[in-house]
Amino acid sequence: MAITATVVGVSGGESPGSKTRAVTQAILDAAGGGELIDVSALGAEGLLGRSPDPEVDAAVLLASSAHVLVLASPIYRATVSGAVKAFLDRFPPDGLRGTVVVLAATAATAQHHLALDTGGRSLVASLGGVSAPTVVFATGADFADGAPGAELQALAGRAAAEALALSSGLTRTT
């Protein structure tokens, strides 16, 4: 009997209409669907751990329980956004153990194209996760009429396929 992978996307975009969210959704669609967490909709006090927040706790539980996690952020100053980092800081040690993570990012220019390979992979590893080989990086030039263009869609599909294949071979421990 085949086990269906649970896929969750985390969008660190600043708004529901952001390019980061569009990239997250493209990867989720390529993976056959999944839950979407918009970090911008979560309370700052809860994200920062200053006050209890059941919504933040539920989002962390959902993300850390995924077989495949799509982690997408705008890149600022060569790293993920503060909101995404604050979200990941809420995870327990080894909170991504047994989870394959697709790293995705949007940026104003291609100058930041290595941010996911240099900082993103180590961030995932620090939580016990496994990064998918392909990262999805996009600038405004990768979009057509506000939607991911054909090349970006193909890249999203490749990353999703790799993550699902890797996930099927991992043993999840809790």
Give, as one character, the DSSP assignment of residue 62. H
Which residues, in sequence order, are bridge partners of residue 37?
A: 10
User: What's residue 174's pLDDT?
Assistant: 52
**Pair of tokens at residue 70:** 């799509």
% of the chain with per-residue pLDDT over 90: 86
Least confident of 54-63, 143-152, 163-172: 163-172
pLDDT of residue 16: 82
Q: Which CATH number fits domain 7-167: 3.40.50.360, 3.40.50.300, 3.10.180.10, 3.20.20.70?
A: 3.40.50.360
Q: Is the pLDDT of residue 3 over 60?
A: no
Residue 170 has pLDDT above 90, yes or no: no
As given in the structure block, the two tokens for residue 51 are: 């006050």
Query: Domain map of the chain by residue range?
Result: 7-167
Q: Model confidence over 65-114: pLDDT tens digits?
A: 999 999 999 998 889 999 999 999 999 999 999 999 999 999 999 999 89
CA distances from 70 to 77, 95, 172 (A): 21, 15, 17
Tell me, what's the pLDDT at 1? 38
| 171 pLDDT tier (thresholds 50, 70, 90) | low
Q: What is the pLDDT of residues 19-39, one digit of tens each?
A: 999 999 999 999 999 999 999
pLDDT reported for residue 5: 76
Identity of the amino acid at 126 = S
